[in-house]
Structure 1
Amino acid sequence: MTLAECVRELGTTQFYVKSRYAVCSGHQFGQVWLRNGEAVGESHFDVVVIGTIPKNSRDMTATYHYTDFTASGINGASGMGITTSASIPQTWPSTAAILRGGNLPATKTWAELISGITLTHTITALSGQAGQHGSARVISAIYQPNIKLVAPPGWGSQPFTGGNIFLLPPRWDEADYLPASTSGGAAAFSVLPTLKYSTAPSAPEREVALHIQKAYATPQLTLPPLATKKLAGQVADEPLTRLYLDTERRKKNRNRAVWNCVKFYGPNYADGGKQCDEFPFATTYQGSAGSDYDPLQARSNFSVQAIDGKSNEAAGTLLAQFYDLNRLIDGPDDGFLVKIT
């Protein structure tokens, strides 16, 4: 991610997610300079932190950029000390060991930072440590950037404070069903990724995309019928969660979907190369058999439709790639959204 992209996408917010491997946060710092208790000048600068993780790596790098320097009136901005540091106030599990590298903490003056220099900091959770979710050995952390300001001798300022910059949320896993499992696993950011399917005429997954689009927009018109049907994966509070480890439950999801396709589209629904498409996916905990395990899920809270088999297979391939690319972990502590374009 470039600095320009981060600044553009942040706008007036504090955090931007490009992917599970590139995020950024930023903060504005303003100073009012005082002489004999009177305001005589002002200054301002921004700090942007870009977090990146290379493919199949356990290293997270935070790159600190200092931008938008402005000063007016009489001020001591050029000699102001700006200390950049970062802490890890919490890890899960709490016993996780995190290695640090790079050039933080570091104190530079305004005059030094205005030249365009950047600072970098790396953190790594070594593989082989005890983690969460059994053999997946998931380690999560909060990475907290911080800025402290010190006025040069003879100057006062109001306010003259630094502060925390919005945190970054790295996560490491060693799941044997994800890439790099034989080399110690890899890292990603604990942010909610979005699976995108297209309804464009040329999109191979088009029929699946149209099915999901209908299921989201008019769920009461899908089969099996349910007036109160509401499907997960549209908003962050109700994501889809990956089902991998329980193969029997996955089979049950698929069998329940096929049974409903036969019921509503007839025993010959597969004629002409059609397949039974179900949503939510059979590889999610919200799949068609979810009500057998979750008393809060209605028995018919899913949708089935007989669609072109090639389109169904193309969508399945994209879903499998999405799981791998985003390192989706089995269970309720990870999740994703679906967006139809």
Structure 2
Amino acid sequence: MRPRISARSQRRLRGLALVATTAVLLPLASPASATDGPAEELTIESFMLPAGASGLSLEELQSEDAVRKFRAQAQASSEGDATAVAETVGPAASYDPSAENPSEAGTGATAEDAPTSDPSTEGEAAEDVSEDPELAAASAKYPEPPHSMSLDECRNALGANKKFFVKSRFAVCSGASFHQTWKRNEKPIGESEFRVFAIGTIAKGSREMHTQVYFANFAATGAMATHKLMISPILTMPKKWPASAKASQGGNVPGAQSFEALARQKPATFAHTITVASGQGSTRDDLVFAVYEPAVKIMPPPGWGMKGDQGGKLFFFAPRWDTAKYVTKKGGAVFSNVGTLRYSSKAGAPEKAVAEHIRDAYNNPGVTVPKNPQKSIPGRDVKNPLHRLFHDRTRREANRDEAIKVCKQVWGNNYPTDPQNPNVKRECDEFPFATTYEGSAQKRYEKSKPANNFSARALPRPDNGAGGTLLAGFLTKNRMIDGDNDGFIVEIQ
């Protein structure tokens, strides 16, 4: 049986009286004889587009202008052959060109989103980011990031023109649509299309990356041979750092199947898993990075030629494995994408004063101290993120000392007491955070960096404690590691 035409495709194809209600399967092309005349040329023109993109109807395919615009759309959507999400960080970021615009990232959270459970105690102590960890722990908690994603969630997030969605550092998805125009002697006689979605997830505390692939949204109309149009999933890990690391695979990846066989499965889906054991990585954190590439290969029926995109690569995943014991004792895995920590400046948010301080540092640095007319603080853009500082405790302490020195210069040695409200104790808040390489003492350690490219401010102790606890929870629960192979940004809501 032929696959049903989706409601969406029916709307696009309404009014096409020239198309029979039942598609006709063309016979295979045969060599011309003396009486047959010239042999028919049977070709398929194939396009790879974002998962939500629409193809052309048979009526539209008769218009050279419409086809020319469609080809231009397909070419523009390639984004310069980018197959890496803009948030990719670490060695995988240099594997292929990155998209210009970041995905919708969901790795952040605010105190308003917090659950009632306590933040993890397996990672770095909150005292590294707050002067009063007990007070901080009582005022705010960081929630567990999402570790799952449904097909509908992926499809809806990709929408009409996106190719990748970052829900969290443990749940990502990539997708594409494939459109085929069937032609006899260069005249369009049919069209078919299908979509592919790859959803990558990592369970809490796991070293296994799980990929669920879906073939969906099949539609076909006109005269064609989709029963012999073969489609193959290809899942590879073409690059690892270090290259010597071994990965074990599992799942049920199928071989080539026809368009119609896949369409009957509603949806056709299968799983693939990759696991990297500990002890194979680099640096003291036992790091293994990789590129994981979902792809599709399309093979035409016998007697048919094919031009254009004969399949294609979806945006790749960038898994990372570590045994960073300051995160969790057993290690784990994440997708190596820049994380987003979200602070709320709304009334009643426990970290409100911290959020307002960071917003000033980003948007109005002239009102911050120390004074620096050229101040441009990193951490608001995925191309210029902050990097966690853990292993060098001396440098973390230097960051704190530099910030406190500014607080004393501006608000006096007695800055913890607010003269306007003596009952409210204050702490010296700094941004970028003392637990980042971009902290207040960066110039002392990296001579090429600008001086005074930070902000310090005396803030109410409860707000500063809440901000510190959210930061500590974010770093731990997102498996943020020390150094420039990871990164995060801060967004103020």
Give runs of aligned pairs for residues 208-287 of structure 1, distance below 5 A. Answer: 208-271=354-417, 272-287=424-439
Q: CA deviation at 1:84?
A: 0.7
Q: Could you tell me how far apart the structure 1 residues matched to 2:452 and 2:299 are?
A: 62
- CA-based RMSD of the aligned residues comes to 1.5
Query: What is aligned with 1:80?
Result: 229
Q: Could you tell me how far apart the structure 2 residues matched to 1:276 and 1:307 are?
A: 6
The SS at the match of 1:30 is strand
The SS at the match of 1:304 is strand
Q: Could you tell me how far apart the structure 2 residues matched to 1:244 and 1:136 are?
A: 11
Give runs of aligned pairs for residues 1-341 of structure 1, distance below 5 A. Answer: 1-11=149-159, 12-35=161-184, 38-114=187-263, 115-129=266-280, 131-132=281-282, 134-159=283-308, 161-179=310-328, 181=329, 183=330, 185-271=331-417, 272-341=424-493
Q: Could you tell me how far apart the structure 2 residues matched to 1:94 and 1:143 are?
A: 14
Q: Is the 8 A contact 2:216 2:268 kept in 1?
A: no
The SS at the match of 1:254 is helix
User: In proportion to residue count, which structure has more strand?
Assistant: 1
Q: CA deviation at 1:199?
A: 0.5
Q: Could you tell me how far apart the structure 2 residues matched to 1:151 and 1:292 are?
A: 63
Q: Is the 8 A contact 2:354 2:463 kept in 1?
A: yes
Q: 1:15 to 1:160 in 2, by over 3 A?
A: closer
The SS at the match of 1:136 is coil
Q: 1:333 to 1:160 in 2, by over 3 A?
A: closer
Q: Is the 8 A contact 1:101 1:123 kept in 2?
A: yes
Moved more, 186-195 or 101-110: 101-110
Q: Is the 8 A contact 1:31 1:160 kept in 2?
A: no
Q: Could you tell me how far apart the structure 2 residues matched to 1:157 and 1:139 are?
A: 39
The SS at the match of 1:106 is coil
Q: Could you tell me how far apart the structure 2 residues matched to 1:279 and 1:36 are?
A: 66
Q: 1:302 to 1:62 in 2, by over 3 A?
A: same
Q: Is the 8 A contact 1:34 1:156 kept in 2?
A: no
TM-score between both structures, scaled by the size of structure 1: 0.95
Query: What is aligned with 2:108?
Result: none
What whole-Å deviation, never above 9, does each CA across 1:299-320 have from its counterpart, x for those lacking one?
Answer: 2111011111011011100000
What whole-Å deviation, never above 9, does each CA across 1:117-167 have from its counterpart, x for those lacking one?
Answer: 2111111111121x12x2211000000111111233444444461121111
The SS at the match of 2:353 is helix
The SS at the match of 2:268 is coil
One-letter amino acid of the counterpart of residue 208, structure 1: V
TM-score between both structures, scaled by the size of structure 2: 0.66
Q: Runs ≥4 in structure 1, deviation > 3 angstroms?
A: 34-39, 152-160
Moved more, 69-78 or 329-338: 69-78
Greater relative contact order (Cα < 8 A, sep 6+): 2
What whole-Å deviation, never above 9, does each CA across 1:186-217 have from its counterpart, x for those lacking one?
Answer: 11001111000001111111110011011111
Query: What is aligned with 2:86?
Result: none
Larger-gyration structure (1/2): 2
Structure 2: state its 5+ residue gaps.
1-148, 418-423
Q: CA deviation at 1:30?
A: 1.4
Moved more, 157-166 or 316-325: 157-166
One-letter amino acid of the counterpart of residue 249, structure 2: R
Query: What is aligned with 2:119?
Result: none
Structure 1: state its 5+ residue gaps.
none
Q: Is the 8 A contact 1:29 1:44 kept in 2?
A: yes
Q: Could you tell me how far apart the structure 2 residues matched to 1:38 and 1:101 are?
A: 45
What whole-Å deviation, never above 9, does each CA across 1:199-258 have from its counterpart, x for those lacking one?
Answer: 111111111001101111111210111110010101112110000000000011101111
Q: CA deviation at 1:116?
A: 1.0
Taking only the aligned residue pairs, the percentage that are identical comes to: 43
